[in-house]
Structure 1
Amino acid sequence: MMTSIKTSLPFKKVIIVGAGFSGVAMAYQLRHTLKCDDFVIYDRGAGFGGTWLANTYPGCGVDIPAVFYSLSYAPNPDFSNLFPKQDEVLQYIDRVASRFNLTRHLVGNTEWVGASWQDDTKTWLVKLRDLSTGQEYIHGCNIVISAVGALTNPNLLTVPGTNCFQGDIIHTSRWDHDVSLRDKRVVVIGNGASATQLIPAVAAEVRSITQFIRSTQYFLPGRANNTISPLWQNAFRYVPGLLRLVRLLTFSYLETATPQFSLTETGEKMRKQTSEVSRCYIMDNAPAQYWPLLMPKFEVGCRRRVFDNDNYVRCLKRDNVHLTNDPVVALHERSVLANGFALTQYDTDVHGRGGRSRSKHWKDMGGIEAFNTIGMSEFPNFFYVLGPNSGRGHTSVVYSIESYTGLIARVIKPILEGSALCAEPKLSSEKAYNKRLHDALCKTVFTNSCGSWFIDPQTGKNWAVYPWSSFHMWWTTQVAGLEDWVYELPKMNPRGRNRSFLACLAMSTLVAALSLWWVYSSLYPGTERLWIAVEFPAHPLFCRV
C-alpha cells in the first residue's frame, strides 16, 4: 500500500521532469548558459536517455542522420553509422551528461505524480513517487520544467483473453531480453516505426510473424545506412568546422520537405511525387496481395512518413511473415506481441494560480495548447520543452529541443537572477498565438481530415504538429523579444523603499548643487576658490590644489 509523506528535501530553484534529450538539453542551459547549479532532474528510468533508455527492442534506431540527431554544442564524430542504433544513441546521451557534469543532478526510478502552485510563496510543490518503494513525497521549487517525451507510456493490450494468456506479451518500449523468440509464433500489433524496425530484425529467427495493422502508412525507400569509416570519424574530429558544415547541409536538405505539407500548388505537386515514389516502392518490393494494405488514401504528411531503412517492405516477401488488417478481438494461442503508445503525457495533475487545473485551462482555451508551445497563462514558472504543437514530421526533434530549451532559458533568466519572482505568458498573447497556429495548420495537410493520433478526438484540433518552418522556430525562440511574458517583481520592504528614496533624493540634490557650482564658476572665473572656501572649507572632495 502506498503512503504519501512530506519530506525535508532542500528547496530547489528548478525541478526538471525527464532525463532524455529534453532533460539533458535543459540541464545544460541551466548550468552553462544561466550558471545555475541548484536544480534536480527526476526520471522514471534508472539513468539518462528517456526513450533511448526504455526502447531496447531488436532493430531500434534513428531515422534521422546522426549528425543532426545530436546537440549542436556537443557534436559527435564517433557515430559508426549514418543512422545509428539505440545503443550508440544512449552512449552519446550518457557522454553528454557526463561531459557537462549533469550526472550528480539525476534522481532516477522516480515518477512525477503532480504539481501545485503556491500563490502565497510563489513556489511549486511537486509530488513524486519512488518507484522502488511506492512512497510518495513532496519537493518544493521555484520553477518546474516538463521534459517528458510525447510517446512514453505503453499502450496496454486490453483485448479479451489477455489476463489468461499463457504466452509472453512484450511491449517494444519494455522489451524483455530474457524471452527468446527463436522458433516461436509471434504476433505484432501496429505498423509504426517500431514495428517496421522490429520485424526485419527478428524475422529470421522466429517460426512465423503475423502483423495486425490498424492503418496504412506511406513507406518510402530507405536511405543507405552507410558505415562511417574511421577516416571520416577522424576528419570530423580534427578538421575544424567540418562536422558543423555537414550538420548545416543535412539541416538544409531536410528542410526542403517543408513546402510539401502546404495546401498550395507546389505542395500538391510535391505530395503527388512522394505518393508515386511510395506506390512504386511498394509494388516493386512487396507481395501483390499486400498492396492495398500498404497504400494510403490520405494525403502525404498527414501521418509521419516511414523511411524503410531496415527493408521492412522487402521482408514481407518472406514465407514466415504475414500481414493483415483484421481486428484483434481475443487472444487464444501462445505468442509474443508488441504494440504502440498511449498519449497520456498530459494526464499528470497540475494546478496553477488559484488552484486552476491544467485540464480546466485547456477546456476554457478550446483544446490542448500552450503559448509558443512552452507556457500557459495562470501557470507561473511552469514550462514544457516539447509541449503542445512542437512536433515535426520531417526533421530532427533534437533541433526543436534545442530551440525550446533556449527560449525557456531566456524567459527564466530574470527569475534565477532574483530580479523577478515568476513569469507567465499573457492570456491575450496565448489566445492570439494559438489562433495564428491553427490558422496556419488549416493551410497544411495536418487537419482533422487525416484522422491520425495528431488530432485530439475531443476537439478535432491538431495538438501535436508545429506548422511553420525551422527558420521560423529559430527566430521566435532565439531572437524575437519577450514582450508577451508577464513578470511579477519582488515587493520591496516599505522601510527599505523609503530609505532608497531618501538616498536617491540626497544624491540628486548633491548632483544639482555641483552642476550649479560648475556653471557659476565658469561664468565668474576667480570666485570659485572663495566660494569653495566659504561653503566647503577644507573638504577634500571640493578643494583644489
Structure 2
Amino acid sequence: MLLKDPANFLVFDSFTATAVKMVNTTGFTRTKVLIIGGGISGICMAVELLTKYNIRDIVIIEKSGGFGGTWRDNIYPGAACDVFSQLYSYSFAPHPGFTRLLPEQQEILDYLVDVAQRYGLYRYARFSSEVVKLRWDGEKMLWEVGVRVDGGKEREYVDGAEYSIIADFVVSAIGQTNVPKGLEMKGLEKFGGKVMHSARWDRGFDLKGKKVAIIGTGSTAAQIVPKIVDEVAHLTVCQRSPGFIIPRVDYAIPQWQRTLTACCPPLAKRIRAEMMNYRERFHTAVTQAGSHPADHMRAMNDELVARQLAGRPDLQEKVKPRYNPGCKRTVITSDYYPALTRSNVDLETASIKEVTVEGIKFEGSDEPRAYDMLILATGFDTFSFLKRLDITGQNGRTLNEIWSVGAPKAYKGIMVPGLPNLGILYGPNTNLSHTSLILVIEAQARCLGAMINRMFTARKGETDTLAFWPKTDVTEHYCQVLQERLQNTTFADDSCTSWWKREDGTIENNWPGTAVEYQKLLENIEWSDFEMEGTAAAGFEADVTKRKTQKVPRVVEETWFSRSGIAALALGGMAVGVGFARVYRQLHLQIL
C-alpha cells in the first residue's frame, strides 16, 4: 500500500518500507502517460508503470464513478465469471480470498477496487470523465487529449464541460465490451414499458409480477433468466440461435482452504498453475471442431439437454446447437435449461419483426405480444475498438481513414501504424475464448511498459522528442498471417455468427493460439518493426540497431512439472532419504 508522507512529499511502499519519489501531477493538463479506462486493463497498466519503472507522472481517465470497468457496469442478477477465480486475478496481486471457484460480480469488483487502493491509483484517477478526442501534434511529438467531464466531483475542477491534457504517450484500456448493442432495434424507442440493457441494469426497478421479455440467449441471458424467473409473472426468452451450453462446475471455497492458500503462497501458485494448464487444454476444444476435446464438449451438451430437459422434446429440439463448439462463445451454466421448463416461461424462436408501444411483434404474427419490460441481453459493439473515439494521427489522417478498408489492424494487437506513441490493451485479435483474459492483458502491459520506459530513457533532455509506431508493411503481414491461421479455426465456421466474426468472415477479435503463445509473442520487442522520429530518434535507432530485440520476460505461470513429475520427485526424494538412512545406519553400526 502506498502511504503519503506530507512532510517530505514522499510515498512509502508499506510492503518494502522504502520511500519512492513522487512526481507532481497537480499540473492537471500535462502528463507523461495518459491511460484511458480504469478497468482490469487500465489498473494493470498503471501498476506496471508505477512499480516496475517508477513512472508516476500518469493520469487515468475513467468515464464511470470508480475503478472496475465491466465489473462495475454489469450488475444484473446472476452476473458472474466463468473463469476460475484463482486465475481471474493479477499475477502480481493474487487473491486467495475468493469465496467461490467461479466468482460473482461483486467479489471481482471488490478485488479490483482493493488492488487500486493497494497501489495508490486513486491519486492518479479522474472519474466521471471521458476521453472524446485525440490529436497528434507532429511538431511537438505529443498527444492533445480532449476530456469531457460528465459530472461528479471532477466537475468542480474545470471551467466548463471540456478541457485538454497534453501527453507524451497514450494507452487505450477501453476494452471490447463496454458499449451496449441492441439499442438500435427497430421500434424500440416507441415501447411504452421499461427497457434495460444488461450492462445498464436498474436495480431500483421492481420485477415482481411483471410480464418480461429477455432478448438474447448468450452467457448474460443464461445468468439472468434463472435469477428472475421466480419474481416475474411471465418471462419470454427470445432466442435467435441456441447457445452451446456445458455444465457450470462451481462450489464454495471453504474457509480452511482460503486460509491455507493465503498462508502458503507456493501452494496458491501451484493451484493457479493447475487451473491455467486445465484452461489452456480447453483451447483445442473451441478451435478445432474435429478434435477429441470438441467431441467431449458435444457430449457434455447432449447429456445436459437430455437430463435437464427430459420429457420436453419440444425444448430439446429448440435448444439444440446447429454449429460446432467454439463457433461462438460457449455458455457455461447448470440452471438455465431447468428455468425454461417453468410454467411461466416461454422460449420464443421466431424472429423479432419490430418493437411496438405494447411490446414485440414476432414473425408470423400481426399482433404484438404485450410486455411490461424488455431486457436487452444483446451484448456489445465489439467491432469499433478505438473508432468510438475521435482520433487524428500523423499527417492529419483519422483512425477511420487508417482503418477504412477491411477489419481494424493492429501490430500484435497493441499498436497501430500512423498513431505514434499510442498503445492498446485488449485490442484487435487479442480476445481469448478458452481462458482468463488477464493472462493476455498482463503480457500487453509488460510489453508497452517496457516500450514507454525505453522511450523516456532515450530522451536525454527535457526538450528531446521521440515518437515510434509500427511499420505499415510489417503490420499488414502480421495481420495477414494471423487471419490465415484464424480461418483454419472453428471461429471461422460458417455455421454460426458471433461477436468476434464480421459479415465478410474476418475474425476481428480473437487470437488463434493459446494464452502462453501470445505471452511468448510479446516477450521480444523487435524495434526493427517500428518507424521513429524526433530529436532523439537518431540516437535511439543507433542504440537499437546494436540490440534490435529487447527482451521482456513474461510471467511464467503454467506448471513446470506435471503432477506425475512432482509425485516422481517426491518418491525419488523419499527413496534417497530412505537410502541415506540405511547407509547412515550401516556406517553407524560399523563405527560402533
Shorter-chain TM range is 0.7 to 0.9
Is 1:285 aligned with 2:308?
A: yes
CA-to-aligned-CA distance 1:80-117 (integer Å, 9 cap, x gap): 11111111100000000011111111111112212111
Q: CA deviation at 1:490?
A: 2.5
Q: Does 1:44 pair with 2:83? A: no
1:106 aligns with 2:125: yes
Gaps of 5+ in 2: 1-26, 359-369, 460-464, 539-592
- Share of identical aligned residues, percent? 28
The whole-number CA distance in structure 2 between the counterparts of 1:116 and 1:391 is 28
The CA distance in 1 between the partners of 2:216 and 2:109, in whole Å, is 25
Name the aligned partner's letter for residue 276 of structure 1.
A
Distance in structure 2 (CA, Å) of the matches to 1:492 and 1:321: 65
Q: 1:411 touches 1:423 (CA, 8 Å); kept in 2?
A: no
User: For residue 337 of structure 1, what is the amino acid of its counterpart?
Assistant: L
* Secondary structure of 1:153's aligned partner: coil
Distance change >3 Å, CA 260–CA 164, structure 1 → 2: closer
Give the superposition deviation at 1:77: 1.1
CA distance in structure 2 between the partners assigned to 1:348 and 1:456 by the alignment: 21
- Aligned counterpart in structure 1 of residue 111 of structure 2, from 83, 92, 114: 92
Q: Per the alignment, in what secondary structure is the counterpart of residue 170 of structure 1?
A: strand
Which residue of structure 2 aligns with residue 356 of structure 1?
Answer: 397
Residue in 1 aligned with 2:346? 322
Residue of structure 1 equivalent to 2:262? 237
Q: Give the direction of change, closer, same or farther, for the CA distance of 1:402–1:91 in structure 2 (3 Å limit).
A: same
One-letter identity of the residue aligned with 1:447:
A
Q: Is the 8 A contact 1:159 1:330 kept in 2?
A: yes
Task: Give the corresponding residue for 1:414.
Answer: 454
2:3 equivalent in structure 1? none
Instruction: Give deviations 1:222-264, integer Å, cap 9, x for gaps.
Output: 11x2111110111111013111111111000000122234458
| Corresponding residue of 1:147 | 173
Matched ranges for 1:112-131 at <5 A: 112-131=131-150
Query: Is the Cα contact below 8 Å between 1:166 and 1:334 reproduced in 2?
Result: no
Counterpart of 1:443 in structure 2: which amino acid? N
CA RMSD of aligned residues (A): 2.1
Counterpart Cα distance in 1 of 2:537 and 2:198: 55
Specify the alignment match of 1:190 in structure 2. 216
2:280 equivalent in structure 1: 255
TM-score normalised per structure 2: 0.78
Q: 1:463 corresponds to which residue?
A: 508
Q: State the distance in 2 between where 1:122 and 1:429 align.
A: 23
Q: Structure 1 unaligned segments of length 5 or more: list them.
A: 1-7, 494-545
CA distance in 1, matches of 2:425, 2:443: 9
AA of the residue aligned to 1:319 = S
Report the equivalent of 1:374. 414
**Hey, what does 1:472 align to over in structure 2?**
517
- Structural mapping, 1:292-307, within 5 Å: 292-307=317-332
Match of 2:204 among 178, 183, 186: 178
Q: CA deviation at 1:214?
A: 1.9
Q: How many residues align?
A: 481
- Partners of 2:534 and 2:233 in 1: CA distance: 67
Task: Determine which of 24, 44, 53 is the counterpart of 1:34.
Answer: 53
* 8 Å contact from structure 1 (residues 13, 416) kept in 2: no
Q: TM-score, normalised by structure 1?
A: 0.84
| The one of 385, 407, 423 aligned to 2:468 | 423
Q: Matches of residues 191-206 of structure 1 in structure 2 within 5 Å? A: 191-206=217-232
Letter in 1 for 2:117: S
Deviations 1:101-137 (A, max 9, x none): 1111111111221211110100001112111278222
Give the equivalent residue in structure 1 for 2:576: none
The structural deviation recorded for 1:395 is 0.3
Q: Is the Cα–Cα contact under 8 Å of residues 176 and 381 in structure 2 kept in the other structure?
A: no
**1:169 CA drift (Å):** 1.1
Q: Distance in 1 between matches of 2:188 and 2:322?
A: 33
2:374 is the alignment partner of 1:337 = yes
**Equivalent AA in structure 2 for residue 452 of structure 1:** S
Note the C-alpha offset of 1:481.
4.2
Q: Is the 8 A contact 1:18 1:148 kept in 2?
A: yes
**Counterpart position of 1:63:** 82
AA aligned opposite 2:381 = A
Q: Is the 8 A contact 2:432 2:515 kept in 1?
A: no
Tell me the distance in 1 between the aligned counterparts of 2:130 and 2:445: 22
Structure 1 or 2, whichever has the larger Rg, is 1
* Aligned residue number for residue 347 of structure 1: 388
Given that 1:114 and 1:348 are in contact with CA atoms closer than 8 Å, whether structure 2 keeps it comes out as yes
Alignment partner, residue 543 of structure 1: none
